Amino acid sequence: MKTILFDLDGTLIDSTEAILESFGVAYDTFGRAIPEDETIKKLIGHPLDIMFMMLGISQSQANDYVNAYKEHYRLISRQKTTLLPLAKEAVKLAATIGTLGIVTTKTASYSEELLEHLGIMHYFSVLIGRESVTHPKPHPEPILKALSHLNADAAHAWMIGDTPLDLMAANEAGVRGIGVLCGYGTKYDLQKHTECVLHDTLDAVKHINRL
């Protein structure tokens, strides 16, 4: 039995507007200038506290910014998040060939709510979020935890993601990583971590189906 694990942002969903707006609210809350959209987008995929620190917020303040972000994100995430084109088709096809899971650095409870709202949560047998693990991607722990929960074999598992973090975690966990170009990572960066970089998530699932 095949196991197919998916990242969320940039792989199955587009929540860019909600993410950028919530970053803006967090910076406004503490009276700081908001970073450029492109600067924030390049960091999507990292845990929020790491993103804020990479954007210059001190470690001691990062959690306050995360809390301000989450408070706003929770209010707007449903109306400002959509499935990426062909994502639903990708998930439906994947469900016919294997067991599915989500491995994300988003908060698991928000992610579950979003996927319920978008009508696809029932396809997934496990959802590993930021609070589910000690070490988020690029550490292999989230993928290994998903495999353990599913009682799945790494040799017959794939991780589909749009950032190098997804692929680094896949390599460390001993599963095959497929990079997709429908999200935030560049082809150049993804190719450093996998030989398989495809246009979108449906292409990735079709590729797995052919194997």
Residues labelled catalytic: 7
Helix, strand, or coil (residue 115)? helix
Kindly report whether the peptide bond that precedes residue 138 is cis, defined as omega within 30 degrees of 0.
yes
Helix, strand, or coil (residue 103)? strand
Helix, strand, or coil (residue 169)? helix
- Cα separation, 111 vs 97, in Å, equals 23
Helix, strand, or coil (residue 163)? coil
**β strands within the chain, DSSP E:** 2-6, 13-14, 82-83, 98-103, 126-128, 157-161, 176-180, 197-198
Q: Can you name the residues that pair with 178 across neighbouring β-strands? A: 160
- Cα separation, 55 vs 39, in Å, equals 8
Could you tell me how many residues make up the chain? 211
Nearest partner of 129 among 41, 29, 23, 8, judged by Cα? 8
- Cα separation, 115 vs 124, in Å, equals 10
